[in-house]
Amino acid sequence: MNFDKYKLYTESVQSPEVDAQFFDQYYRMYNGQEALVLKEDFCGTFLNSIEWIKRGAFKKAICVDLDPEPIAYSRANYLSQLQPSQVERIQIFERDVLKKSEEKVDVIAALNFSTFIFKERKKLKKYLKRSLKTLNPKGLFFMDCFGGMATQEPLEEETEHKEFSYFWDQDSFDPVSHNAQFYIHFKPNGEKKIKKVFSYNWRMWTLPELKDLMIEVGFHDVHILWEGSGPNGEGNGQFARAEKGEVCEAWVAYVVGQRPPD
Ligand SMILES: C[S@@+](CC[C@H](N)C(=O)[O-])C[C@H]1O[C@@H](n2cnc3c(N)ncnc32)[C@H](O)[C@@H]1O
């Protein structure tokens, strides 16, 4: 198997079509109108943006990531597959999300726990303030968050795919700082395991911390979207507004806030 880490990553942890549809529909349900511009922060291979612009001829996307590697990969492998009229609706910036920007957008998505990169409250606050300024009035900010008892102990979980296995490795967790080290490994069928293909050193922020910080910087109606569960007790991929969650080993949720209408 030709080892392509971004292809394996996407197959293992991303659902860009589902995510783009979710943000689009949630905005319409919340504001009663269509969102046109998505900003995908920490965009990596910016697949959510690619799915977003496919959802309508007036939709645009702004993608920001520090790392030139996933951006170059996506330009070569995904952007090249789009029509010119689609490509011109995607703007890609290789820069720090903390840098000032001039764009105005309807939705900001910070996904795959990327805000956990900011370990200091001051930095996360700066990012949230910038995001609030970047949103149009009524614009929505979404970030995902995960937690639960099983996410705070060393463990390695294997998920088998058709041509490879994906490993989520929780290497360490420090209860004092809430800093944690995670790795992603892959094992193509019939080949050796390729270790530490992706590495994440994160602060495990809690939902109330994130919610409080968003309120503090001025977001309106900050709320949590909690995942429902299927018959086997596992998450069913359906997220709904919740004031309370259930205790579970591991959970994923979204924190959402609106830029107040003018
Ligand atoms: C966990 S990955 C998420 C990638 C993608 N959003 C996804 O859903 O899979 C985090 C990404 O954030 C980028 N990143 C980290 N710090 C950043 C910063 N300060 N500004 C912009 N991008 C950053 C990394 O280069 C990496 O591509």
Same domain, residue pair 191 and 218: no
Which pLDDT score, from 0 to 100, does residue 2 have? 80
Q: What is the pLDDT of residue 108?
A: 98
The pLDDT of residue 37 is 98
| Boundary residue ending a domain (203, 223, 242) | 203
214: CATH: 3.40.50.150
Residue 229: pLDDT above 80? yes
Across the range 136-155, mean pLDDT stands at 96
Of 203, 218, 237, the position where a domain reaches its end is 203
Cα atoms in the 13 Å half-sphere on the side-chain side of 88 = 5
Beta-carbon neighbour count of residue 153 at 10 Å? 9
The per-residue pLDDT for range 82-103, each reduced to its tens digit, is 999 999 999 999 999 999 889 9
Q: Tell me, what's the pLDDT at 85?
A: 97
Check pocket membership of 139 for ligand 1, CB cut-off 6 A: no
Q: What is the pLDDT of residue 67?
A: 98
Tracing tokens 């903390």 back to the chain, one arrives at 98
Considering the domain architecture, whether residues 103 and 171 belong to the same structural domain is answered as no
If asked whether residues 160 and 140 sit together in one domain, one would say no
- Taking the CA of residue 97 as reference, the ligand 1 atom at the shortest distance is 20
Atom of ligand 1 nearest to the CA of 110: 6
> Could you give the percent of the chain with pLDDT greater than 90?
93
Q: Is residue 101 within 8 Å of residue 134, measured between CB atoms?
A: yes
Q: Are 35 and 106 in contact (CB under 8 A)?
A: yes
Q: Which three-class secondary structure state does DSSP give residue 100?
A: coil
Ligand 1 atom having least distance to the Cα of 44 = 27
Residue 204 predicted with pLDDT over 80:
yes
Q: Residues with Cβ < 8 Å from 41, sequence gap 6 or more? A: 64, 97, 108, 109, 110, 114, 131
Residue 129 has pLDDT above 90, yes or no: yes
Residue 127 shares a structural domain with residue 216: yes
- Give yes or no for a contact between 259 and 219, defined as CB atoms under 8 angstroms apart: yes
59 plus 109 within the same structural domain = yes
| Pairing mode, strands 220-229 and 235-242 | antiparallel
The confidence score (pLDDT) of residue 262 equals: 84
**End residue of a domain, out of 203, 223, 239:** 203
Strands (E), 113-204: 135-147, 155-160, 164-173, 179-188, 194-203
Q: State pTM to two decimals.
A: 0.97
Indicate whether 185 and 210 sit together in one domain: no
249 Cα–ligand 1 center, Å: 26
**Spatial contact of 253 and 227, defined as CB atoms under 8 Å apart:** yes
> Phi/psi zone of residue 249: left (φ > 0), alpha (ψ -120 to 50 degrees), beta?
alpha
Same domain, 50 and 106: yes
Does the structure show a pLDDT above 70 at 170? yes
- Domain containing 191 equals 149-203
- Judged against a pLDDT cut of 90, whether residue 169 lies above it is answered with yes
pLDDT at 203 over 90: yes
CA of 233 to the centre of ligand 1 (A): 31
Give the number of domains in the chain.
Answer: 2
Inform me whether the pLDDT recorded for 232 exceeds 90: no
Instruction: Clarify whether residues 182 and 161 are in a common domain.
Output: yes
How many residues are given for the chain?
Answer: 262
Residue pLDDT, tens place only, 40-74 = 999 999 999 999 999 999 999 999 999 999 999 99
Q: How far is the CA of 113 from the centre of ligand 1 (A)?
A: 9
pLDDT at 234 over 90: no
Asked whether residue 159 falls in the same domain as residue 195, the answer is: yes
The per-residue pLDDT for 235 is 86
Q: Are residues 131 and 38 in the same domain?
A: yes
- 3: which 2 tokens? 């080892």
- Residue 168 sits in a domain whose CATH number is 2.20.25
Q: Is the dihedral of CA 10, 34, 62, 103 positive or negative?
A: negative
| Mean per-residue pLDDT, 107-136 | 98
pLDDT at 19 over 90: yes
- Does the Cβ of 70 fall within 6 Å of ligand 1? yes
| Ligand 1 contact via 202 beta carbon (within 6 Å) | no
- SS3 of 41-81: the string is ECCCCCHHHHHHHCCCCCCEEEEEECCHHHHHHHHHHCHHH
Q: Are residues 159 and 226 in the same domain?
A: no
- 84 and 63 in a single domain? The answer is yes
The confidence band for 1, taking pLDDT boundaries of 50, 70 and 90, is: low
Residues 181-192, mean pLDDT to the nearest whole number: 97
